[in-house]
Amino acid sequence: MKKIENFLNGTLNLKDKLAPGYINLSNPKYIELDGKYYAGLFIVDYEREYSEIIFKNLINTNVNVNISIFYEKQDSYKTIKDLTYSIGNTGVNLKFGNSNKEDIDLAAFSYNDAKYIRKEMQINNEEMYYLYTYCIVMAKDEKELQTNISKLESILQASGLIPRRANFRQEQTFLSCLPIMENSKDLKSVTKRNVLTQGLVGTYPFISSTLCDENGVFLGSNLYNNSMILVDRFNKDKYKNANMCVFGTSGAGKSFYIKLLILRYRLLGMEQYIIDPEREYNKIAENLDGTLIKLGPSSDTYVNIFDIREESMEDGVGYLSSKLLKLRGFFSLIFGEMEEEKMAILEEKLIQMYKQKGITFEDESLYKKPQEGKIPIIPSFKTSEEMPILEDLYHLLEDEKDKIFKLKLYPFIYGSLKFFNHHTNVELNNKLIIGDVYDLGEENLKYGMYMFTDIFWDKIKRDRNQNKAIYLDEIWRLIGVTSSGFVASFIYKIFKTIRKFGGSAVAITQDISDLFSLQEGAYGKSILNNCSIKSFFSLEEENIMVLEKYANISEKERIEMKSLKRGESLMFIGDDHILAKIEASEYEKNLII
């Protein structure tokens, strides 16, 4: 037993492991501890009244600081007794005016305060507390330490708090800021200030604007306090949906931010589909083994707008009925807004076209029948090769008196857009698919964007238990004034209903005024309101003024938005408004830039 005791005496305990190896207390202005420098401040006075949280600016600072707040509840009976005695004595002095005018004014303040405190304690059941506040600033060297102390003093003074440097009392202040509940007597007499229960609420310290969701993805750091921002946008208990909108001028950092999100969610195995009108995502597709589908005159990859996929059925609507509704949007982009009569003619031809391929309103017509004489197997869905193409529709329209249909379809069959007149020849099984429509040109981008939106929406609906996301870059082309009501309604439907399929829709644009240009901004506003997470990068004054009409932006946030640097963003995440700096490692940058 003695040998065991001797052995234990020679081992390190927890206190030894936590203790620093080197402490220097020789300088009255700071403590040096294991090569780091620490200096203390304590608050000696406060303003008499506050309209907000007292320590808000202190807690949100990016200075490396530890804050310790002590509350000591006082005996109510003794406090009321002392107040009554003080009120009586002060009342006599005020009545007979035994002091000069300045002393009388000070006594009057104390007299009224004492009466107020006694009334609150006796009538409103308030309690009296003593409040003590200490701060320890940390730095790597003396110069940085002095800079941080001066900065912290400025922040405190601007908040109506009177600080004092803890010179010759650095050790006591340092110990008071450790989690050991030590409030030194040497400090208490200097820092003690009384406060009632209702005033105590104003000292609540846990008000930092930061987010740290348990299963969140790292977005960046808080510009005010350098805290990490980790958001789990698929957390249904916290956010009403997983939708996002990302607005910002060219070069503000929004594309880098989106690529970073794609990379980080790719590591989590999430399905992601991107519509790319500016050819910005080619490298990330290559580095992350994604599928890149280029649509254009020089491309050898094709996608057929008439494809009906097994996962494309809408709830309660048959395959063909669902497809016809989506085709209304596509052809409204080609033919413009049509009268009901013309729309009916077009739909009649579409139904006839599908019937030629053996596809009717009976869902069973989309499944291949087993050949006669062979053992029955599970029916397989028809392939793209068994679907009609635009040329089939073109020939059906030849007999129509109104030649406008044929004239506008001609480029899609024999002209510059004939790459639309092909069967799909690409696999769509990858969890990362980028639809590149850059080669379509400015006037024709909307056709390719809508086509990919249709494909990706079908994939979103395939498995409700799998998280997935669709990124709509330059979304204004689909819901702006150059689009149509059918298309805008389809995009709005995606943002409205994608949550029930476990999905997230991401709207990206730099042209905010165009986003709200169709039907007085009705669709743009609806999409904005259906995004739980909003990221506003640097914006021009004109775009900020448009955004103010549709988003709850304060005057302070408006000013901040104009002064944002590249890679900085004002984020609305649920009910939190946070100024964030988007951050990435060098490895991540090499993958996406």
In percent, how much of the chain has pLDDT > 90?
62
Position 100 pLDDT exceeds 90: no
**Phi, psi (5° rounding) for residue 403?**
-85, 0
Using one digit for the tens of pLDDT, what is the confidence trace for 548-563? 888 888 888 888 888 8
Are 448 and 406 within one domain?
no
Are 51 and 175 within one domain?
yes
**Phi, psi (5° rounding) for residue 322?**
-60, -40
pLDDT at position 92 is 77
Position 102 pLDDT exceeds 60: no
Helices marked H in 498-585:
512-515, 522-529, 541-550, 555-562
Mean pLDDT confidence for 228-232:
92
**Domain end among 399, 425, 451:** 425
Radius of gyration in angstroms for the set of CA atoms belonging to the chain, rounded to a whole number? 34
Are 385 and 403 within one domain?
yes
What is the residue-wise DSSP string for 154-165?
A: HHHHHTT-EEEE
**Domain end among 372, 391, 425:** 425
Position 329 pLDDT exceeds 80: yes
Position 2 pLDDT exceeds 70: no
Which residue would you say has higher pLDDT here, 213 or 245? 245
In percent, how much of the chain has pLDDT > 70?
94
Separation between Cα atoms, residue 434 and residue 583, nearest integer Å = 24
**Phi, psi (5° rounding) for residue 206?**
-95, 65
Separation between Cα atoms, residue 567 and residue 254, nearest integer Å = 7
- How many Å from the N-terminal Cα to the C-terminal Cα in the chain? 66
What is the residue-wise DSSP string for 82-148?
A: HHHHHHHHHHHHHHHT-S-HHHHHHHHHHHHHHHHHHHHHHHS---EEEEEEEEEEEESSHHHHHHH
pLDDT at position 548 is 86
- Lowest mean pLDDT across 332-346, 351-365, 372-386, 511-525: 372-386
pLDDT at position 372 is 59
Separation between Cα atoms, residue 182 and residue 429, nearest integer Å = 62
Are 511 and 459 within one domain?
yes
Separation between Cα atoms, residue 466 and residue 474, nearest integer Å = 26
Position 141 pLDDT exceeds 70: yes
Mean pLDDT confidence for 245-271:
95
- Lowest mean pLDDT across 210-214, 426-430, 499-503: 210-214
Are 410 and 462 within one domain?
no
In a domain, 220, yes or no: no
Residue with token string 């309209």: 51
In the predicted model, what is the mean pLDDT of the chain? 89
Confidence band, pLDDT 50/70/90 cuts, at residue 463? confident
pLDDT at position 225 is 78
- Lowest mean pLDDT across 54-58, 172-176, 391-395, 406-410: 54-58
Which residue would you say has higher pLDDT here, 466 or 552? 466
Are 411 and 432 within one domain?
no
Residue 362: which CATH number?
Answer: 1.10.8.730
**Domain end among 153, 188, 203:** 203
Separation between Cα atoms, residue 5 and residue 381, nearest integer Å = 78
In a domain, 358, yes or no: yes
CA 430 to chain centre: 27
Are 418 and 436 within one domain?
no
Q: Are 397 and 405 in contact (CB under 8 A)?
A: yes
Supply the DSSP symbol for 205.
Answer: -
In a domain, 222, yes or no: no
Position 262 pLDDT exceeds 70: yes
Using one digit for the tens of pLDDT, what is the confidence trace for 278-299? 999 999 999 999 999 999 998 8
Are 268 and 385 within one domain?
no
In a domain, 194, yes or no: yes
Are 445 and 471 within one domain?
yes
Using one digit for the tens of pLDDT, what is the confidence trace for 577-591? 889 999 999 999 999
Q: How many residues does this entry show for the chain?
A: 593
Separation between Cα atoms, residue 101 and residue 95, nearest integer Å = 13
In a domain, 155, yes or no: yes
Residue 186: which CATH number?
Answer: 3.30.70
For 97, 98, 100, 366, 503, the CA distances from 93, given in Å and listed in that order, are 6, 6, 11, 99, 74
Confidence band, pLDDT 50/70/90 cuts, at residue 101? low
Angle at 254 between CA 464 and CA 515, to 5 degrees: 75
Position 244 pLDDT exceeds 60: yes
In a domain, 117, yes or no: no
Using one digit for the tens of pLDDT, what is the confidence trace for 18-65? 788 889 999 999 999 999 999 999 999 998 888 788 888 888 787 889
pLDDT at position 568 is 95
- Lowest mean pLDDT across 275-279, 333-337, 416-420: 333-337
Are 366 and 514 within one domain?
no
In a domain, 154, yes or no: yes
- Other beta carbons within 10 angstroms of residue 217's beta carbon come to 18
In a domain, 584, yes or no: no
Separation between Cα atoms, residue 423 and residue 391, nearest integer Å = 11
For 325, 361, 407, the CA distances from 316, given in Å and listed in that order, are 13, 13, 36
Separation between Cα atoms, residue 277 and residue 270, nearest integer Å = 22
Could you tell me which residues come within 8 angstroms of residue 2 by beta carbon, excluding any fewer than 6 positions away? none
**Which domain does 346 fall in, by range?**
317-425
pLDDT at position 89 is 83
Position 167 pLDDT exceeds 80: yes
Residue 471: which CATH number?
Answer: 3.40.50.300
Are 480 and 543 within one domain?
yes
SS3 321: helix
pLDDT at position 103 is 67
Confidence band, pLDDT 50/70/90 cuts, at residue 210? low
Nearest 10 degrees: CA dihedral of 353, 359, 363, 367?
-150
pLDDT at position 397 is 87
**Phi, psi (5° rounding) for residue 308?**
-110, 120
Mean pLDDT confidence for 175-185:
92
Position 9 pLDDT exceeds 70: no
Position 374 pLDDT exceeds 60: no
Helix H or strand E segment including 32 = strand 31-33
Helix H or strand E segment including 490 = helix 485-497
Q: How many domains does the chain have?
A: 3
Are 199 and 244 within one domain?
no
